[in-house]
Structure 1
Amino acid sequence: MNDQTGLLLRDIRSEPAAAPIAPSLERRRLRALAALIIADAVLLHLAFATASFLYEGVFGTARNMFAVQTFLPFFFTIALYNGTYGGPALRNWVFAAKRVITALVIAAALLNFLAFYTKSNAEFSRVAVTLGLILSAVALVSLRRMIPVVIDYFWDGRTMNRLIIDDGGPSFTEPDAVTIRADDYQLDPTDHDPFMFDRLGTLLKNQDKVIVTTPRERREDWAFLLKSAGVHGEVVSEPTHKLGALGVQHYDDQGRTTLIVSEGPLGLRSRMMKRLFDTVVALGAIIVLSPLLAYVALRIKLEDGGPVLFVQRRMGRGNKFFNMLKFRSMKVDRGDADGMRSTAREDDRVTRIGAFIRRTSIDELPQLFNILRGEMSIVGPRPHALGSRANNKYFWEVDAEYWRRHCLKPGLTGLAQVRGHRGATEHEKDLTDRLRSDLEYVAGWSLRRDIEIVIATVAVLTHEKAY
């Protein structure tokens, strides 16, 4: 047994203490922003109703209420696109005030433009509408000024998780950030050990910003790790071309500059769309396919009395381990928990029902439950067993870019699969072909492409390499 094999098979109890998982603040931010949108709508109605009372003596005249309801679609469209309801709006009230005033002014100009060309100006009271806009500006800015006070009181001022990893570089601090030492968790950016990647993935889970301070000679390695993890990552450094920096962040109070070396591949809106798509498709598939799932489970149980499911640890988003579910297709005493041996044609380990469900890809259907649990997506890079090899090399030894495919959730199907890159990896090209497709998918994600891949998957459910 070589050193790498021993590494993969070692008892998890020999690992360092479990890395702490930061609480997710994304839902907190989403709830706050949703509440802010509702509050803005209420304040705009109240401002226009008050304006009509001050000018016409009647609280909320019909024409002023019509004006504000016509105004709202313009306002919210501009506000959603100019960052009025983004994360920074919760942390910086001056930034938030500027954005909301910008949205207010542009929306008012568009409303006036529309009213002019539809000759409906006479339906609005210019004085009442102008007064309503002024009162709206005062109310919306006042609300922004109160947001930090509310956040400080209820959430101790925290709307983001920030992590600083000290790997022996220049001293660096940031308000509300948690600082850890890389040595305490045995984090070595030059070590391509899956267990180290899992520890790092656990530490980075739910982090909104990760800053690494490290010596010059290790910066490129850390930049690669952060890109692979799919997080907003920065390395404390002077500009260096090799890091592939995306931008520069200045911390004037410390006289320090960091390089932004990675961003999550998907923004909030894209992640929400992808998660909604995953949930709807997975839940629908489970309901429709429930008779087939029950039948296959019964056939597996009746054949040899063994467990129905095969559970195997694989690498997921952020290079973090998860337990992937499959229908068991091999004999109970011949299972390959680490995936050290690729399945071959006429493999003597495969059961009778196993041969059928592997040939038709039915063995993968239990991963629909992985999708509902948020560990996988309908479409994404396929997760590989830790012991998988090509030309007797572990996948990450063939190409270090392998780790970058894990910046998205693994998929039930993927671009590589619909292109026919599946089955055993006897040669290095078998892996590199898949890797190129996976990285292409990561770089160019769109919901439309996910739908196209799902449709294309139907044609490759049975495949000459599916055995």
Structure 2
Amino acid sequence: MSMSILAGAVRALDFAAVFALGALTFWIYVPDPEADRALYFSVALLAAVVNTMYVHSSGGYTLPGILPYARTVRRVLAAWSAVFATLAVVVFFMKIGTDLSRVWLALWFLSGAAFLAVERALLASVARRWIRMGRLARRAVIVGGGQAAADLIQSLEAQPDNDIRICGVFDDRKDSRSPAVVAGYPRLGTIDELVEFGRIGKIDMLIVTLPLTAEARVLQLLKKLWVLPVDIRLSAHASKLKFRPRSYSYVGTVPLFDVVDKPLADWDRVMKRAFDLTFGLLALLALMPIMVGAAIAIKFDSRGPIFFRQKRYGFNNELIDVWKFRSMYVDQADADAARLVTRGDPRVTRVGRFIRRTSIDELPQLFNVIAGTLSLVGPRPHALSAKADNQLYEQVVDSYFARHRVKPGVTGWAQINGWRGETDTSDKIERRVECDLYYIENWSIAFDLYILFATPLRLLSSENAY
């Protein structure tokens, strides 16, 4: 649970509660059928908007604004009082005071204040519990040891209501400049080992403590670390260079430079999942007749199961099982894709040639989308032993694993740009990875929709699919 998602949910709850209490109080206390309902509901809607703005401006939707119960209650009640002061000014200048019930306003104010106070008490309790459980904390690794790292760690831990949980330190140096323990945290390994640790340790953030003047070293580190789906921050804590406050992000009062942001984080991830579920279910219903027909054809064409499961790289290099319709003879199947399928490949069945050329063999991956291991749109997942020019893909393209910073997809930007099917040369896999990285850096719901609806048109051109 990220803080951004929690803050958004609390905003929505505040907005809905303020409006609902105003409407409910109206229905209970103002039975006059001649009362202007539109006016009352407009005032309730205005109060909901203004209250959300005031609480936001006072920091009431940040972690420091949520955890200390006494302080956060004072903030929300001050904002709620300011809302009614604003309403009083609006009512006065619009000369609608005689059209509104003063008792309704008083009851609404008291019920709203009571709700907000109770809500904040529950919210503070839940947030503290989630922080203790690690659900609301960001797991961070310090990159670079020595005194600079020690000073940064001490500053972070001195921040009240800090949501950063440091897992350890990684540094290539193993001499007196980088001791085995830094400010109570062990040195867990080298920078090369950090990449693997970042994958298995579910890390959220890397904080590099090297000075800004060590430009070559910082760039060398970033080239290794940017393939991870994490936020990368550069410590500005001890830097003598001072920039405008907006140039930094902050943990409490500790300044950090934002170098790399995790792709598809927070609400982007929620929207992406909602998109996958909505269009995935619609596609599954619409294409079910084709899938049933393909299953029957496969069963009658050759001996063996209808479906074929293959291990492929998923998000963050995790192995996932990808579902496909079987297109090869059972005794000639190549689960690791060590040998690419070529034109006229004798391993492919008669039905298999057709469903591969039309991509019908990929339709069972809609079940992966519903299960959450694939997205509808994203970099295509590759088999473990897939090769180009007799080399594994990661040996051909340095930035290959950066495409795994997001969940792989059934279709993608590379596929609708012609880089579909066989990847027998290094140029083909390089172009595909370029498209994948472009997609990651430029993702939006509109981009996904464009790729999704362009895919059927691109399937008409199947010269690379065997």
In structure 2, the residue corresponding to 1:384 is in which secondary structure?
coil
Q: 1:91 to 1:344 in 2, by over 3 A?
A: farther
- Kept in 1: contact 2:30–2:104 (CA 8 A): no
Offset, 1:380? 1.2
**What is the letter of the counterpart of residue 46 of structure 2?**
F
Which of these residues, 182, 205, 218, is aligned with residue 210 of structure 1? 205
Distance 2:73 2:345 in 1: 62
Does 1:229 find its partner at 2:228?
A: yes
Distance 1:43 1:339 in 2: 58
**Matching residue of 2:302:** 304
For structure 1, which segment, 376-385 or 64-73, has the greater mean C-alpha deviation from structure 2 after superposition?
64-73
For structure 1, which segment, 229-238 or 402-411, has the greater mean C-alpha deviation from structure 2 after superposition?
229-238
In structure 1, the residue corresponding to 2:201 is in which secondary structure?
helix
Does 1:320 find its partner at 2:318?
A: yes
Does 1:466 find its partner at 2:465?
A: yes
Which of these residues, 452, 455, 459, is aligned with residue 454 of structure 1? 452
Alignment of 1:90-109 (within 5 A): 90-91=66-67, 94=71, 105=82, 109=86
Q: Which has the higher contact order (CA 8 A, sep 6+)?
A: 1
Does 1:73 find its partner at 2:45?
A: yes
**5+ unaligned residues in a row in structure 1: which ranges?**
1-24, 53-57
In structure 2, the residue corresponding to 1:190 is in which secondary structure?
helix
Distance 1:116 1:319 in 2: 61
**Matching residue of 2:292:** 294
Distance 2:49 2:5 in 1: 18
- Kept in 2: contact 1:48–1:65 (CA 8 A): no
Offset, 1:268? 3.1
- Kept in 2: contact 1:377–1:409 (CA 8 A): yes
Offset, 1:311? 2.0
**What is the letter of the counterpart of residue 336 of structure 1?**
D
Q: 1:314 to 1:71 in 2, by over 3 A?
A: farther
**Matching residue of 2:386:** 388
Distance 1:432 1:99 in 2: 54
In structure 2, the residue corresponding to 1:412 is in which secondary structure?
strand
**What is the letter of the counterpart of residue 328 of structure 2?**
M
**What is the letter of the counterpart of residue 179 of structure 1?**
C
Distance 2:17 2:421 in 1: 57
- Kept in 1: contact 2:18–2:47 (CA 8 A): no
Distance 1:302 1:49 in 2: 64
- Kept in 2: contact 1:371–1:378 (CA 8 A): yes
Distance 2:73 2:431 in 1: 46
For structure 1, which segment, 133-142 or 366-375, has the greater mean C-alpha deviation from structure 2 after superposition?
133-142
For structure 1, which segment, 154-163 or 434-443, has the greater mean C-alpha deviation from structure 2 after superposition?
154-163
**What is the letter of the counterpart of residue 458 of structure 2?**
V
Alignment of 1:250-269 (within 5 A): 258-269=256-267
Offset, 1:126? 7.0
**Matching residue of 1:163:** 139
- Kept in 2: contact 1:44–1:136 (CA 8 A): no
Q: 1:106 to 1:266 in 2, by over 3 A?
A: farther
Distance 1:211 1:289 in 2: 43
Q: 1:317 to 1:303 in 2, by over 3 A?
A: same
Offset, 1:433? 2.3
CA RMSD of aligned residues (A): 4.6
In structure 1, the residue corresponding to 2:192 is in which secondary structure?
coil
How far does the alpha carbon of each residue in 1:147-199 deviate from its partner, in whole angstroms, 9 at most, with x for none?
Answer: 324544687475513323366623437567262576999976437xxxx9676
- Kept in 1: contact 2:11–2:52 (CA 8 A): no
Distance 2:317 2:463 in 1: 30
**Matching residue of 2:192:** 190
**What is the letter of the counterpart of residue 205 of structure 2?**
V
Which of these residues, 198, 201, 212, is aligned with residue 200 of structure 1? 198
Q: 1:250 to 1:138 in 2, by over 3 A?
A: same
- Kept in 2: contact 1:249–1:260 (CA 8 A): yes
Offset, 1:201? 2.7
Distance 2:285 2:50 in 1: 40
**Matching residue of 1:349:** 347
Offset, 1:412? 0.9
In structure 1, the residue corresponding to 2:457 is in which secondary structure?
helix
Offset, 1:333? 3.1
**Matching residue of 1:147:** 123
For structure 1, which segment, 338-347 or 391-400, has the greater mean C-alpha deviation from structure 2 after superposition?
391-400
Q: 1:297 to 1:49 in 2, by over 3 A?
A: closer
Offset, 1:403? 2.5
For structure 1, which segment, 275-284 or 64-73, has the greater mean C-alpha deviation from structure 2 after superposition?
64-73
- Kept in 1: contact 2:195–2:225 (CA 8 A): no
Q: What is the identity percentage for the equivalent residue pairs of Structure 1 and Structure 2? A: 29
Offset, 1:343? 2.1
- Kept in 2: contact 1:247–1:261 (CA 8 A): no
**Matching residue of 2:183:** none
TM-score by length of 2: 0.71
Distance 1:186 1:386 in 2: 28
- Kept in 2: contact 1:226–1:261 (CA 8 A): no
- Kept in 2: contact 1:48–1:133 (CA 8 A): no
- Length, aligned pairs only: 422
- Kept in 2: contact 1:328–1:354 (CA 8 A): yes
Distance 1:97 1:393 in 2: 63
Offset, 1:136? 4.5
**Matching residue of 2:167:** 179
Distance 2:395 2:78 in 1: 54
Distance 1:185 1:329 in 2: 49
**What is the letter of the counterpart of residue 439 of structure 2?**
Y
**Matching residue of 1:411:** 409
Which of these residues, 374, 392, 396, is aligned with residue 372 of structure 2? 374
**What is the letter of the counterpart of residue 368 of structure 1?**
L
Offset, 1:314? 1.9
Distance 2:398 2:84 in 1: 49
TM-score by length of 1: 0.71
Distance 1:274 1:164 in 2: 25
**5+ unaligned residues in a row in structure 2: which ranges?**
172-185
Does 1:280 find its partner at 2:252?
A: no
In structure 2, the residue corresponding to 1:322 is in which secondary structure?
strand
For structure 1, which segment, 330-339 or 181-190, has the greater mean C-alpha deviation from structure 2 after superposition?
181-190
Distance 2:264 2:91 in 1: 35
For structure 1, which segment, 412-421 or 180-189, has the greater mean C-alpha deviation from structure 2 after superposition?
180-189
Offset, 1:358? 0.5
Offset, 1:456? 0.7
